[in-house]
């Protein structure tokens, strides 16, 4: 079952975030607390959203998709940026990832959004192959940039 996350799902989502970070060899970089995630997802006007995959037999959350709304000046329409998608290894192969992405695609279509986009680590071949099987393709011409930490603070102080 795919559904919007509820406040009760926050501990499971944080565990899944940590599972994703461990898979991506970046567990030490996770700073997110349950309190921070709850505030981000369930404030009066949230800027980030989450859908979860719940195992119908066990009732536990086995996957998640965290996303936010973007805007394309070229399309003149909003879109969805998928920040993270993760399904527990023990639950993979049962269609949860596909259903999470299909739900976000349905939101795009229903709201008139022009795109659903995300990033994949260059070494994550299984994920890239999965996305290609859904009809997605890499955006070779765009290179993501990021500013964080001390550099972010220094830029803000200029």
Instruction: Give the Cβ contact number of residue 41 at 10 Å.
Output: 20
Helix axes 34-42, 10-23, angle to 10 degrees: 110
Q: 10 Å Cβ neighbour count for 122?
A: 8
Q: Which of 68, 71, 96, 131 is catalytic?
A: 131
68 catalytic? Reply is: no
Length of the chain: 158
**C-alpha distances in Å from residue 65, one per residue of 68, 75, 89, 141, 158:** 10, 24, 15, 25, 36
Residues 27-83 have pLDDT tens digits of 999 999 999 999 999 999 999 999 999 999 989 999 999 999 999 999 999 999 999
- pLDDT given for residue 14 in this prediction: 98
Looking at the chain, the whole-number percentage of residues with pLDDT higher than 70 is: 100
For the chain, list the domains and their CATH numbers: 2-157 (3.40.630.30)
Q: How confident is the model at residue 142 (pLDDT cuts 50, 70, 90)?
A: confident
Report residue 26's pLDDT band, with 50, 70 and 90 as the boundaries: very high
């Amino acid at each position: 079952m795919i559904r919007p996350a509820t406040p009760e799902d926050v501990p499971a989502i944080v565990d899944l975030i940590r599972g994703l970070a461990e898979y991506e060899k970046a567990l030490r970089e996770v700073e997110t607390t349950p309190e921070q995630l709850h505030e981000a997802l369930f404030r009066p006007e949230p800027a980030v959203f989450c859908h979860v995959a719940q195992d119908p037999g066990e009732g536990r959350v086995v996957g998640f998709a965290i996303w936010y709304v973007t805007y394309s000046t070229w399309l003149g329409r909003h879109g969805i940026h998928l920040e993270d998608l993760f399904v527990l290894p023990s639950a993979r192969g049962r269609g949860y990832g596909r259903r999470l992405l299909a739900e976000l695609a349905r939101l795009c279509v229903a709201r008139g959004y022009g795109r659903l986009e995300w990033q994949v680590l260059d070494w994550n071949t299984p994920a890239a192959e999965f996305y290609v099987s859904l009809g997605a393709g890499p955006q070779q011409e765009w290179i993501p940039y990021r500013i964080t930490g001390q550099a972010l603070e220094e830029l803000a102080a200029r």
